[in-house]
Amino acid sequence: MRVLVAGFQHETNTFAPTKAGWPAFVAGDAFPEFTRGAAMLERLAPTSLPMAGFMHDAAERGWTLVPSIWAGASPSAQIRREAFEHIAAMLLEDARREHYDAVYLDLHGAAVAEHVDDCEGELLARLRAVTGPALPIVCSLDLHANVGARLLRHAGALTVFRSYPHVDMAETGARAAGLLSELVGRGTFVTRSRRLPFLLPIHTQCTLLDPAAGVMADLATLEAQSGVHLGLAFGFPAADVPECGPVVFGHGHDAEAVEANVLALAENLIAEAASFAVELPDAGRAVARALRAAATATRPVIVADTQDNPGAGADANTTGLLHALLDAGAGRRFPGAVALGLMHDPEAAAAAHAAGVGERLPLRLGRSVRCPGGRDSEPPVQALATVLALHAGDVALAGPMTAGNTVHLGPSACVEIDGVRVLVTSGKGQLIDEALCRFLGVEPRALKLLVVKSSVHFRAAFATIASRIIVARAPGPMPADPAELPWTRLPQDIARRP
Ligand SMILES: [Zn+2]
C-alpha cells in the first residue's frame, strides 16, 4: 500500500499579537523546519511527533510512504493568506502528481488563516476534490484541536492526543496507522460527534490532574468496552471562530454503539465542566507564595506564567513575573538560584552577545504588550545585567515529550539581574525541557525557584523535579479565563467558561 503523508501544524490564537507568514513555517521554531519530499521523512523520523509514530507503524505494516510536505509554525495569530495558500498548493500539487492508495495527515486542528476559519477542514475539502470521496484518509490531531464539521465530514477517521503535556504524540500517529488499516480493510466508518456548549481554560486541561485525567480515563474505558474509536479534543479556547471549543466524536461500524458512546463521553465531560474553572493568583501573590514554599523546600518551586505561554500564541516577552521577582528581592534571598525563561527578546540577546560573557551592561528586557480587555502588560525591565552565558541556540531536547527534537532558538543568553537569572532567546520557544535551562548554564534541579513561560507542557519534564507548582496569572495576551477575551464570532450558545 502506498500512503501519501503530509504534516501541517499551527495553533492559532486569533487574539495574539503576531501573525504567521511563510517564513514562520520555513523556520518551524518549536516544530521541525519546512521540508518537502524524501527529506521530510528523514527529518521527522527521529522526533516524537505523530508523523514519526505513523512512519514506524507503517514500516511494520510494509507500507510505502509517499512524502509530500511538512509545514509547522509556532502558535501565533492567524496564518497569513499567502502562507496558507502556498502550503495548500504544494500539498495539492503532490496529491495530483503522485500515485497512492491512502492518505495520512499529521494536523493540529486549530489552524485559522486570515481568510479561512477552519484551515484543516478547508485542506481536506480541497484534497477530496483531488482524491474523490472514497479514498481512505486519516488525520491525527492535537488535543487542542477545534474540530470543525468539514474536517469530520471529509476525513475517513480522526484521532486525537490523549495527554497534555502531549507525551503521546508518536503513539497517536501509530493509532492513526491502525485506523487507516481498518478503513482500508473494512471500509467506511460511521462517524458521530457532539460539540460541547462551553470553552475549557487550557491550564486545567492538564491530563496529569483531575478533572481532565478522569475524563480521559472514561474515554479509555468506554473505548475498551465498546470497540468504538473515540476522540475528545478539548479545543483551543482563543480562536474567535464559530467552531471553537471541545468536541467528542466516535468512529465505528455499529451506528447505535458509536452514538451511545459519543453521548456517554460528552455527558461525562459536561458533568465535570465546573471543575475545569480554577482561580489563579496574580504575579505578586504567586511569587510570595513561591518564596515561602522555597524557604523550606529541597526541590525547586515552579511558577507557570500561563498567560504569556508561547505555546498558546503569546510572544513570551511580558515582564509581570520578572518585575514581581525583582520587587520581592527573590534573587537576593536565593542568589543564583532563581531563574526565569524563556524570555523571547532578540534585541536583548544581541546586546548580551555584543557585550560578551562576564560583562555588565544596561539592558532592556521584555515588552509591554496589548492584552485582552485593552490593557497593556507591565513595561520592560530596565536594569544592569551581567552576562553569565551565551549560546547559538541550537538545542537537542531529551525530555519525555521532546526527546529526539532539536530546537533552533537563535542567539541566546543567560543574564543575571539582582540575583535573578533570565534565559533570553532570539526565537520563540516554550520552556518544556531541562535542556532548555542547561544550554545556558542553569541547572534546573539546583534552583530554588523557576518561572516558566508555559501553561502545562513544562510538567512533562519538570513535574517530577518540582516540590510545588503554582500557576500564576500575570498580565499577558493568553488569558487563563477565556471569558476575558473579546469574542465576536463565537455562537451565543457556547459559554465562555465551563
Ligand atoms: Zn496542544
What is the CA(328)–ligand 1 centre distance, in A? 33
- Please give the pLDDT value at position 337: 98
What is the CA(144)–ligand 1 centre distance, in A? 5
Residue 418 has pLDDT above 90, yes or no: yes
What is the CA(233)–ligand 1 centre distance, in A? 10
Model confidence band, residue 375 (pLDDT cutoffs 50, 70, 90): confident
Q: Are the C-beta atoms of residues 305 and 453 closer than 8 Å to each other?
A: yes
What is the CA(301)–ligand 1 centre distance, in A? 24
What is the CA(166)–ligand 1 centre distance, in A? 7
Q: Are the C-beta atoms of residues 166 and 462 closer than 8 Å to each other?
A: no
Encode pLDDT of 104-130 as tens digits: 999 999 999 999 999 999 999 999 999
What is the CA(398)–ligand 1 centre distance, in A? 19
What is the CA(239)–ligand 1 centre distance, in A? 13
What is the CA(359)–ligand 1 centre distance, in A? 39
- Please give the pLDDT value at position 256: 98
Residue 221 has pLDDT above 90, yes or no: yes
Residue 373 has pLDDT above 80, yes or no: no
Encode pLDDT of 85-99 as tens digits: 999 999 999 999 999
What is the CA(334)–ligand 1 centre distance, in A? 34
- What percent of the chain is predicted at pLDDT more than 70? 100
What is the CA(206)–ligand 1 centre distance, in A? 10
Which 8-state DSSP code applies to residue 69? E
What is the CA(65)–ligand 1 centre distance, in A? 26
Extract the C-alpha cell encoding 293. Answer: 514554599
What is the CA(437)–ligand 1 centre distance, in A? 22
Instruction: Please give the Cα distance from 200 to 249 (Å, whole number).
Output: 17
Instruction: Please give the Cα distance from 116 to 459 (Å, whole number).
Output: 33
The per-residue b/e assignment along 189-213, b for 16 or more CB within 10 angstroms, e otherwise, is bebbbbbbebbbbbbbbbbebebbe
- Rounded mean pLDDT, 219-232: 98
- What percent of the chain is predicted at pLDDT more than 90? 93
What is the CA(234)–ligand 1 centre distance, in A? 9
What is the CA(50)–ligand 1 centre distance, in A? 12
Encode pLDDT of 163-188 as tens digits: 999 999 999 999 999 999 999 999 99
Model confidence band, residue 313 (pLDDT cutoffs 50, 70, 90): confident
Residues 430, 433, 436, 439: what is their CA dihedral angle, to the nearest 10 degrees? -170
What is the CA(190)–ligand 1 centre distance, in A? 27
What is the CA(181)–ligand 1 centre distance, in A? 26
Q: In the predicted model, what is the mean pLDDT of the chain?
A: 96
Instruction: Please give the Cα distance from 267 to 248 (Å, whole number).
Output: 10
What is the CA(323)–ligand 1 centre distance, in A? 29
Q: Are the C-beta atoms of residues 360 and 338 closer than 8 Å to each other?
A: no
